[in-house]
Amino acid sequence: MTDKLKPLREQIDAIDAQILALLNQRAKVAQEVGHVKAETNAPVFRPEREAQVLRGVADRNPGPMVAGDVQTIFREIMSACRALEKRVTVAYLGPVGTFSEQAVYQQFGSAVEGLPCASIDEVFRATEAGTADFGVVPVENSSEGAINRTLDLMLQTTLLISGEVAIPVHHSLMSKTGGMDGVRVICAHSQALAQCQVWLNQNYPNLERRAVASNAEAARMAGEDPAMAAIASEIAGTQYKLGVVKPHIQDDPHNRTRFAVIGHLQTLPSGKDQTSIVLAVPNKAGAVYQLLAPLAKHNVSMTRFESRPARMGTWEYYFYVDVEGHVHEPAVAKAMAELKDQAAFFKVLGSYPLSLT
Amino acid sequence: MTDKLKPLREQIDAIDAQILALLNQRAKVAQEVGHVKAETNAPVFRPEREAQVLRGVADRNPGPMVAGDVQTIFREIMSACRALEKRVTVAYLGPVGTFSEQAVYQQFGSAVEGLPCASIDEVFRATEAGTADFGVVPVENSSEGAINRTLDLMLQTTLLISGEVAIPVHHSLMSKTGGMDGVRVICAHSQALAQCQVWLNQNYPNLERRAVASNAEAARMAGEDPAMAAIASEIAGTQYKLGVVKPHIQDDPHNRTRFAVIGHLQTLPSGKDQTSIVLAVPNKAGAVYQLLAPLAKHNVSMTRFESRPARMGTWEYYFYVDVEGHVHEPAVAKAMAELKDQAAFFKVLGSYPLSLT
């Protein structure tokens, strides 16, 4: 074998030497970029530029390397080049750890300084105060729906959304024994129960389903009571020493949790962007349809719509709306201007590159 | 600014195009390597080869890119090429999550399939059964010392150690309020208290220090009782909503947790290797010095020595010893042969590349 492998490995070594030289060439040019930026006090991290590079290499990737893996490599390359200018500090929500931290690395690569915070409020505070350059906060959790605290804080903050990250989330059925003998109740957050409904109907139609405060709470309960099984992430399961009965039982295999990247930055157009806004109308929820007419008029697609009862102030509901495009694009700008005129409350949360995944 | 940045970005784009082409050339050669390996049923993951590549690029790195960041990029490049042959599955200890998972990525890059397990036993079982290609288990935890369960299982398993990963660990002082007003007791695992002794003597000489079962337990207690502060990782702190009084208070700033990569693989020499063995002598611990004479005789350096009371069988103690070098090196081979002759019990746990960090 060694005889056949040796020339191939020599080829690889030669390629690696070229890659190494190019990486350092790139780093040198990136340093020059840093100097130019420093003269004008321009930001080190440009999400729209990084999104363009990542899309570009995936589009032009001839294979056989998988496009997603090419993007992972280039994310690290940009992260390493950026760190030569300044190591970006990113605040994130510590608890449940893994997903939020994963989101940080998915957006910024490894060469960042993570700043774990105890609450979503603290992530906003640390970023507003400049302790962190950016914050990463959950926006929508597939097991618990919209993260209300994030939406509330978005209303008040001066920070803008500069990016979006989606992390795949899997639900697994777990119990103390790893089996279903003696199990009478399946516990989970109501959203997780809903997301596994088809599978549960097929496999355990006769077991009681009980909605609890969170999937982590369900895992804790199952760890104490062998008559209970839990639907939760395997990370939560291992924390309470549960055995996996069946992994990945959610009906939608592409279940994701969404995070927003927040900061002081006004992101420029990347070519494939999204704009998040929040607005309110006085009293009548029926006024919403009419309110959104400017979007249709200017041919701006709405990709997400969420209403939320106001906890304070004059309005009954706030509406969180995502639309395709960047506020610098004429159609979007016109639609926004008209929305602003009509709505009782209107705020642009940010325009930013569409998440890659 | 745009005028100055544009030509620089064009330079970067041109470099990226070359890197992209080279990555795919490398992937093609890696596929050929895969075919050669498949003919002879040789393993996809060769830790000694990957260690050599990573050391090589760091040694030859001209800068300005930081050597550690270059290694991160090449780890991802090798991970992506390896995934074209086969996506390696790696079992790891799930609870407390982050560190073990981090160790998996640090060894294998991102293009792997992680398999979180509820216990160290399960990691061994999954790897022995072939459900996972490799396992990653903690060997020595700076807050709790040697991981006894791992050492016990190493005695019996047919698996070999094929690599070692070290992850930096920081201890922080935390409390419910983030301050020390009203705090009367500082809790932590005894090892963590010991590791922060100098700092504690300087800063809080008069507060009671209480050793508890684990740092996570200390964090939990501090979350319930404002009279207690905890020393723990910030990840544990965020889990129990503690505020950080002072980060990174351990006396040794390079505090690390060590993990072993276990698998069926016999790793070949990489040039900078380490060999782990375990041995026992009948009864007298005094016989140990004499037992280790072959190491000195053949000029083999011992880098780690740990004794552990036997929980079963004939011997009072087992001795876990790490030495420099690979069993394929003549001096190491001779020393091992002599040790084996003299010891009542002798087992090579594996020869593997020295950890990069």
pLDDT in tens, B102-150: 788 889 988 888 887 877 898 999 999 999 999 999 888 765 567 778 9
A8 part of contact set with chain B, CB < 8 Å: yes
Long-range contacts of the stretch A50-57 (C-beta < 8 A, 24+): A50/A75, A50/A78, A51/A163, A51/A270, A51/A272, A51/A353, A51/A354, A51/A356, A52/A270, A52/A271, A52/A353, A53/A78, A53/B13, A53/B16, A54/A356, A55/A270, A55/A271, A55/A272, A55/A356, A56/B13, A56/B16, A57/B16, A57/B20
Q: Which CATH architecture has domain A2-85?
A: Up-down Bundle (1.20)
A118 part of contact set with chain B, CB < 8 Å: yes
Long-range contacts of the stretch B251-254 (C-beta < 8 A, 24+): B251/B195, B251/B196, B251/B197, B251/B198, B251/B199, B252/B195, B254/B168
Q: Distance between alpha carbon B93 and the CA centroid of its chain, in Å? A: 12
Distance CA B240, CA B174 (A): 10
**Which stretches of chain B drop beneath a pLDDT of 50?**
95-97, 285
Q: How many CB atoms lie within 10 A of CB B292?
A: 21
B81 part of contact set with chain A, CB < 8 Å: yes
Position A311 confidence tier, pLDDT thresholds 50, 70, 90: low
> A269-297 pLDDT, tens per residue?
999 999 999 988 765 545 666 777 888 88
Distance CA A51, CA A313 (A): 38
Distance CA A97, CA A237 (A): 14
Distance CA A215, CA A309 (A): 25
Distance CA B57, CA B68 (A): 10
Distance CA A77, CA A105 (A): 13
B179 part of contact set with chain A, CB < 8 Å: no
Nearest-neighbour CA in chain A from B239: distance (Å): 5
Enter the tokens of residue A175: 């119990």
Half-sphere exposure of A181 (CA within 13 A, CB side): 3
Residue given tokens 């702190």 in the structure block: B237
Find all residues with CB under 8 Å of A89, minimum gap 6, and list them: A112, A113, A114, A115, A131, A132, A133, A134
Contact criterion met (CB < 8 Å) for B65 and A53: no
Nearest-neighbour CA in chain B from A72: distance (Å): 7
Nearest-neighbour CA in chain A from B244: distance (Å): 9
> B26-38 pLDDT, tens per residue?
999 999 998 888 8
Distance CA B207, CA A48 (A): 51
A334 part of contact set with chain B, CB < 8 Å: no
Return the domain boundaries, chain A: 2-85, 172-246, 266-357
Distance CA B88, CA A227 (A): 36
Contact criterion met (CB < 8 Å) for B21 and A237: no
Half-sphere exposure of A234 (CA within 13 A, CB side): 24
> Is A257 one of the catalytic residues?
yes
Residue type for position B231: I
**CATH 3.30.70.260 holds for B267-357:** yes
Stretch (H or E) spanning A308: strand A302-309
Nearest-neighbour CA in chain A from B278: distance (Å): 30
Interface of A with B in 50-79 (CB under 8 A): 53, 56-57, 60-66, 69-70, 72-74, 76-77, 79
Position A329 confidence tier, pLDDT thresholds 50, 70, 90: very high
Residue type for position B118: A
**CATH 3.30.70.20 holds for B173-244:** no
Distance CA B324, CA B315 (A): 26
For all residues of chain B together, what is the average pLDDT?
Answer: 86
B242 part of contact set with chain A, CB < 8 Å: yes
CATH topology of domain B20-85: Chorismate Mutase Domain, subunit A (1.20.59)
Residue given tokens 């070594």 in the structure block: A13
Percent of chain B scoring above 90 in pLDDT: 46
Contact criterion met (CB < 8 Å) for B65 and A73: no
Tell me, what's the pLDDT at B96? 42
Distance CA B150, CA B138 (A): 7
A238 part of contact set with chain B, CB < 8 Å: yes
Distance CA A274, CA A163 (A): 9
Distance CA B354, CA B48 (A): 9
Nearest to B73 among A77, A93, A242 (CB): A77
Tell me, what's the pLDDT at A95? 46
List C-alpha distances in Å: B127 to A141, B15, B118: 33, 41, 14
Residues in chain B within 8 Å Cβ distance of A44: none
Nearest-neighbour CA in chain A from B325: distance (Å): 22
- Check pLDDT > 80 for residue A1: no
Residue type for position B151: L
Residues in chain A within 8 Å Cβ distance of B239: 94-95, 97
Q: Tell me, yes or no, if the two domains A2-85 and A266-357 fold the same way.
A: no
Contact criterion met (CB < 8 Å) for A25 and B15: yes
> Environment class of residue B176 by beta-carbon count within 10 Å: exposed (0-12), middle (13-18) or buried (19+)?
buried
> Is B257 one of the catalytic residues?
yes
Tell me, what's the pLDDT at B283? 60
Kindly name the residue from A89, A127, A257, A267 that is annotated as catalytic.
A257
Contact criterion met (CB < 8 Å) for B8 and A32: yes
Find all residues with CB under 8 Å of A205, minimum gap 6, and list them: none
Distance CA B200, CA B120 (A): 33
For all residues of chain A together, what is the average pLDDT?
Answer: 86
**CATH 3.30.70.260 holds for A266-357:** yes
- What is the ipTM metric for this complex? 0.71
Residues in chain B within 8 Å Cβ distance of A219: none
- Check pLDDT > 80 for residue A335: yes
**CATH 3.40.190.10 holds for A172-246:** yes
Top-confidence range, A11-20, A162-171, A241-250, A279-288:
A11-20
| Chain B interface mutation, best of A1, A2, A16, A66, highest count of B Cβ atoms under 10 Å | A16
Stretch A153-165: mean pLDDT, rounded? 93
First to last CA, chain A: 40
Position A118 confidence tier, pLDDT thresholds 50, 70, 90: confident
Tell me, what's the pLDDT at B30? 92
